[in-house]
Amino acid sequence: MGKKEKLKIIPLGGLGEIGKNMTVIEYKNDIIVIDCGLMFPEEEMLGIDIVIPDITYLLKNKDKFHAIVLTHGHEDHIGALPYILKQINVPVYGTRLTLGLVENKLKEHGLLKDVDLKCIKAKDVIRNGEMSVEFIKTSHSIADSVALAIHTPAGTVVHTGDFKVDFTPIDGDVIDLARFAELGKEGVLLMMADSTNVERPGYTMSERTVGQTFQNIFKQAKGRIIVATFASNIHRVQQIINEADDYGKKVAISGRSMVNVVDVAYELGYLNIPEGVLIDIDDIDKYSNSEIVIITTGSQGEAMSALVRMSTSEHKKVNIIPGDMVVISASPIPGNEKLVSRVINQLFKKGADVIYEDLADVHVSGHACQEELKLIHTLVKPEFFLPVHGEFRHLKQHGQLAQKLGMNEENIFLMENGAVLELSHKNAKITGSVTAGQVLVDGLGVGDVGNIVLRDRKHLSQDGILTVVVTISKETGGVIAGPDIISRGFVYVRESEDLMEQAKEIVKEALVKCEERQVTDWATIKNNIKDSLRSYLYEKTKRKPMILPIIMEI
């Protein structure tokens, strides 16, 4: 082993936000990146499809960058991979299910044959320069999730990934607490740990408890049972299939991502579906309603999801009928509360019985609550602590939790994306920062929509636009045709003819004034049109539409 140098930890995403998780681990001439996730756009990012991390730092350090290791297959941990791999192609390490989901994604982007996917399993160790990465079994709301221990000459870094402590997991494979304890005994320099549920006291219940609720529901249901849940929650899907089998029911799958994930999970052996239980969604009418279970997407009330289409009679195969029992087996992700409420209302109106989190225990979280976090902190006993995977409030509370367990405040780092944490044996310090931020993806455009475009979309969305066109003579500067005014999203034109006629007069006056003052400079003419029209419209409507004057010269 060579001279001990500083170990750098640089989060490029996932701090101060829940989403686009990505962390750089750098030692000497090697960089390993943990996870490569996307984030769904905030409400004000109008028209944006997804948000990915800014990888300027990796592009600058291309030569050092040798591997991406994935903790699990959720979008906020793997969703940016196609975009990043198009720019820098490095091997990607992950467990079997994780890579199965990644393959699907790469296929869609036409990248599958170009990428080196390296399948690992818990307890495996991979080497990269002087660093080695060890994978540790955890529990989460997706199967095959792992934590990481990264062994470096400067010390060991433990990254929990997203986790909970489930003593009775569906696959029987319990989180490897013993290994966390061992690492703690050997000495851990830094821990990075999931902060999502740090505000919740107590323990997250076992996934198995949801199965008990399902059992009661399946016992009572007289008509069809329709369960909406996260496509990636294979264990949830397994439990639904188990209950269906117990009660002699058939299971059909609906929703593109649900079909995809079930396919991958079944092929790889993560789903155990007894012979004859699964039927095609086209065949549900061949059975009586009491025999049918449908597993579907739409637990977040997403506009085009299968459940929403069922509730609005827009689904081609399934229409909600009285007697249907719909189970929404999920919590609304913050921001989706109203969408979920809307689909519940709609389902009730259609005559379905609806069971959701407020009424029964049909969901458990995938993240550790306070007591589980305390357990991990106590086992791992890190020298330094970097709370990750949370908004600032969560990072802050997680820091306070660590303090309550006896850690010194100066050993806890509340960081922002891009901050550089440098560690050596018994020493840690934030030494600077690198470029980090949000790259907006809109259709095929990656990063071509920025603040100006978003500001314009916001403006357009509030009061619409008025386009004013006027043709001016090149020779005389006089008006030859127009002004014409066309509006969109401003007022209902048929009911506002007077207003629009008057607006034309206002523009004419502005043009006359320009002519009188012999103003020929287009920018000034345009500004005069804008200013006079803006004040007229605001006075009459208290609205401020975008005004777009266009001058044609002939």
Which residue ranges are tagged as binding site for Zn(2+)?
72, 74, 76-77, 140, 162, 389
- Say whether residue 174 binds its own copies (CB under 8 A): no
For its own copies, which residue of 4, 6, 46, 132 counts as binding (CB under 8 A)? 46
State the greatest distance between any 2 C-alpha atoms of the chain, in Å, as a whole number. Answer: 88
The residue from 349, 426, 513, 517 that contacts its own copies (CB under 8 A) is: 349
Site membership for its own copies, residue 540 (CB under 8 A): yes
Among 280, 484, 505, 509, binds its own copies (CB under 8 A): 484
475 binds its own copies (CB under 8 A): no
Cα→Cα distances 328→102, 356, 371, 499, Å: 27, 5, 27, 49
Closest approach of Cβ 306 to its own copies, in Å?
20
Q: Does 409 bind its own copies (CB under 8 A)?
A: no
Q: How far apart are CA 319 and CA 311, in angstroms?
A: 7
Give start and end residues of each alpha helix (H) in 199-233.
207-220
Q: Of residues 195-254, which lie at the interface with its own copies (CB under 8 A)?
A: 199-200
The yes-or-no answer on residue 194 being catalytic is yes
The correct pick among 59, 125, 405, 552 for binding its own copies (CB under 8 A) is: 552
Report, in Å, the least distance between residue 298 CB and its own copies. Answer: 16
Q: How far is the CB of 188 from its own copies (least distance, A)?
A: 27
Size of the site for its own copies (CB under 8 A): 68
Give least dist CB 405 to its own copies, A.
18
Shortest distance, position 163 Cβ to its own copies, whole Å: 21
Residue in 131, 156, 163, 160 with CA at minimum distance from that of residue 148:
160
> Can you tell me the distance from the alpha carbon of 248 to that of 232, in angstroms, rounded to the nearest whole number?
25
Please tell me whether residue 446 binds its own copies under the rule CB under 8 A.
no
Nearest of 332, 290, 298 to residue 314 by alpha carbon: 298
- CA-angle at 78, arms to 294 and 165, nearest 5°: 70
CB atoms within 10 A of CB 152: 26
H or E segment to which residue 433 belongs: strand 427-433
Phi-psi region of 518 (alpha: psi -120 to 50; beta: other; left: phi over 0): left
Asked if 71 and 147 count as a contact pair (C-beta separation under 8 A), the reply is: yes
Binding of residue 550 to its own copies (CB under 8 A)? yes
Using the rule CB under 8 A, give the single segment among 54-62, 100-108, 123-131, 542-550 that binds its own copies.
542-550
Chosen residue from 66, 208, 317, 396 binding its own copies by CB under 8 A: 396
Among 367, 377, 394, 398, the active-site one is 367
Binding segment for its own copies among 85-93, 265-273, 274-282, 453-461 (CB under 8 A)? 453-461
**Least distance (Å) from its own copies to the CB of residue 333?**
10
245 catalytic? Reply is no
One symbol per residue from 315 to 334: x for binding its own copies (CB under 8 A), - otherwise; what is it?
A: -------------------x
Task: Please report the beta strands in 185-344, taking only residues with DSSP state E, as ranges in sequence order.
Answer: 190-194, 225-228, 250-254, 292-296, 325-328
Q: Which of 307, 491, 506, 507 binds its own copies (CB under 8 A)?
A: 491
Please identify which of the residues 54, 194, 245, 463 carries the catalytic annotation: 194
Among 59, 125, 304, 480, contact with its own copies (rule: CB under 8 A): 480
Q: CA-CA distance, 548 to 485, in Å (whole number)? A: 10
Compute φ and ψ for 162, nearest 5 degrees.
-80, 130
Amino acid at 253: I
Shortest Cβ distance from residue 440 to its own copies (Å)? 11
- Whole-number Å distance between alpha carbons of 215 and 211: 6
What's the CA gap between 520 and 483, in Å, rounded? 16
> Which residues, in sequence order, are bridge partners of residue 8?
26, 422
Burial of 192 (0-12, 13-18, 19+ CB in 10 A): buried
Residue 110 near its own copies by CB under 8 A = no
- Positions marked catalytic: 194, 367
Contacts with its own copies by CB under 8 A lie at 16, 42-43, 46-47, 199-200, 334-335, 337-338, 341, 344-345, 348-349, 354, 358-359, 391-393, 396, 442-445, 448-450, 452-454, 456-465, 467, 469, 471, 480-482, 484, 486, 488-492, 495-496, 540-543, 546, 548, 550, 552-554
